[in-house]
Amino acid sequence: MSGVLKVGTRGSELAMAQCAALAKRFAGEVELVPITTQGDTDRSSLQQIGGTGVFVSALRDALLDGTVDVAVHSLKDLPTGAAEGIELAAISKREDARDALVARDRLTFAQLPEGAKVGTGSPRRMAQLRAARPDLEVVDLRGNVPTRIARALGDAETGEGVDLDAVVLALAGLKRLGLDGKATDTLELIDFPTAPGQGALAVEIRAGDAVARRAVAKTDHAATRAAVEAERHVLAGLEAGCAAPLGAHAEVADGMLFLTASAYATDGTKRLTASHAYTLDERTAAEYAEAAHDVAGRAVSELMEAGAADLIHGSVG
């Protein structure tokens, strides 16, 4: 590696902004390298293009061929399986993991009129919206954050382009773009558990690259890593990809690791939920890893016994 740490990221405004903020904490001189992924160019729904890895593969290829030394991803986009030759060197401290509503006329979720059109590209959010409000018309939505917001609020300059009553987005993304003031409501985790890893960033390097590992080490946050690993173990245990209607949220609080996971029918007619906790004593990396495996394993067993596999795979198949 040269004296400059080349950091790969998707080229979207959000990806560049969140990577730039994180890279300020990397050691040494940093150069951001935008990489175009399949998910950036293919406007098909996530269910149609498969979801898993579509925002990640091109970045990993650039890492392996030496184009970049570090790859930064939104953790919710990262496949759960190990990638040959690649090491997950750091997981950033999580931003607010909740989803947010951006609606016309500053409407809250409860104030949306019957039959309101609400846009999202996430099968999980689609299922949750339909479960909470069967009267809504849920519309598949792709595009960058400003484009999606414009579907509900109109173009910032012309006011044109409104064809939805609201859109649902990750609050973390809005905050990183300085657009959280556009949010008209926040969807609480008890009713709207989010995608595994939502709000956190993943930092990958080539396996064995000690220089890159040292450069990014300060960005690793132990409690966040424990929480998101628990969430991702649920995703892996249920053999569900990021296009599956599955929500999971874990956090470290009051000396314990708490996890809640929910699987949905895409039409919103059924939800299965499991919640478990693990008491932490030493808070070492080994104990955090054990806790993540423990709570996720119990949640997966409970959900599988209740029929979650059929629910998830029936929804995405």
Residue indicated by tokens 């930092």: 203
Catalytic site residue from 60, 98, 130, 148: 148
Q: Are 278 and 204 in contact (CB under 8 A)?
A: no
Catalytic site residue from 142, 270, 283, 298: 142
Q: For residue 242, indicate whether it is catalytic.
A: yes
Catalytic site residue from 124, 151, 206, 232: 124
Q: Are 47 and 66 in contact (CB under 8 A)?
A: no
* Distance from the Cα of residue 189 to its chain's centroid: 14
Q: For residue 77, indicate whether it is catalytic.
A: yes
**Hey, how many other C-beta atoms are within 10 angstroms of the C-beta on 314?**
12
Strands 99-103 and 166-170: antiparallel
Catalytic site residue from 6, 10, 76, 232: 76
Catalytic site residue from 6, 19, 69, 77: 77
DSSP string, 192-253: S---TTTT-EEEEEETT-HHHHHHHGGG--HHHHHHHHHHHHHHHHTT--TTSSEEEEEEEE
Q: For residue 76, indicate whether it is catalytic.
A: yes
Following CA atoms 231, 232, 237, 242 in sequence, which dihedral angle do they give, to the nearest 10 degrees? 110
**Hey, how many other C-beta atoms are within 10 angstroms of the C-beta on 218?**
11
Q: End-to-end alpha-carbon separation of the chain, Å?
A: 44
Q: ∠249-250-255 over CA atoms, to 5°?
A: 155
Residues facing residue 5 across a β-bridge: 30
- Residue 107 to residues 133, 152, 163, 288, Cα–Cα distance (Å): 15, 11, 15, 40
Q: For residue 42, indicate whether it is catalytic.
A: no
Q: For residue 125, indicate whether it is catalytic.
A: yes
Q: For residue 142, indicate whether it is catalytic.
A: yes
Q: For residue 19, indicate whether it is catalytic.
A: no
For residue 89, give the H/E element and its range: strand 86-91
- The residues assigned a catalytic role are 76-77, 124-125, 142, 148, 242
